[in-house]
Amino acid sequence: MPMWIQLLLLAVIAIVLVMFVRRWYGVRMQAGKRIAFFAFLAANAWAVLRPDDVTWLANRMGVGRGADLVLYLLVAGFALATLNTYLRFRELDRRFTELSRTLAIREAELVNRERGLLQAPHEHPAVLPGSRLEQS
């Protein structure tokens, strides 16, 4: 009999890998995560109310004790959550970079105009206040 727990854990690792190298979020992904979260809550409630069921499930999957099954699933869940956070941070980083770049270039155009390196566009006054670069 195959060890179902092994298949399950390997499947989670595969999902993590795929998510890692693919840009894989959006409405469908968002909904999937929310459903998974509620399923997780429901499973928790079930396990609290009927711990013997967890042991029964563990035995069916080739794991000795219910506590071990919970631990394995926790590890898998932690990996997914970590990855999710990583992807979120990377997206935030991308937006932050865009924002900083826009500000930096706008500021630079003012500063370099004051330094006489850029022509002032006609619709703006030649010198705009509040952008003087501190000279050493």
Partner 1 sequence: MANSDVWVVIPVFNEEQVIAGVVGDVQQVFPNVVCVDDGSRDRSAQRVAATGAHLVRHPVNMGQGAALQTGLSYALAREGGRYFVTFDADGQHRVEDALRMVELARQGGADAVLGSRFLDQPRKVPAAKRVVLRAVVALSPTARRLQLTDTHNGLRVLTRPVAEGLRITMNGMAHASEIVSQLAKARARVVEAPVTILYTEYSMSKGQSLINGVNILFDLSVRQRG
* Interface with partner 1, residue 15, by CB under 8 A: no
In this structure, the number of other CB atoms found within 10 A of the CB of residue 79 comes to: 15
Determine which residue in the list 2, 23, 28, 45 makes contact with partner 1, applying CB under 8 A: 23
CA 68 to each of CA 39, 51, 57, 64: distance values in angstroms, whole numbers, following the listed order: 19, 12, 11, 7
DSSP, collapsed to helix, strand or coil, labels residue 126 as: coil
* Interface with partner 1, residue 133, by CB under 8 A: yes
* Interface with partner 1, residue 44, by CB under 8 A: no
- Asked whether the beta carbons of 90 and 26 are under 8 A apart, the reply is no
* Interface with partner 1, residue 21, by CB under 8 A: yes
Angle between helices 51-60 and 66-114 (to 10 degrees): 90
Footprint of partner 1 on residues 102-121 (CB under 8 A)?
103-105, 107-109, 111-112, 115, 117-118
End-to-end CA distance of the chain: 76
- Asked whether the beta carbons of 83 and 20 are under 8 A apart, the reply is yes
Q: Choose one: 6-14, 32-40, 54-62, 92-100; the region binding partner 1 (CB under 8 A).
A: 92-100
Task: Write down the least CB distance from residue 30 to partner 1, Å.
Answer: 18
* Interface with partner 1, residue 101, by CB under 8 A: yes
* Interface with partner 1, residue 22, by CB under 8 A: yes
Q: Which residues bind partner 1 (CB under 8 A)?
A: 20-23, 93-94, 97, 100-101, 103-105, 107-109, 111-112, 115, 117-118, 133-136
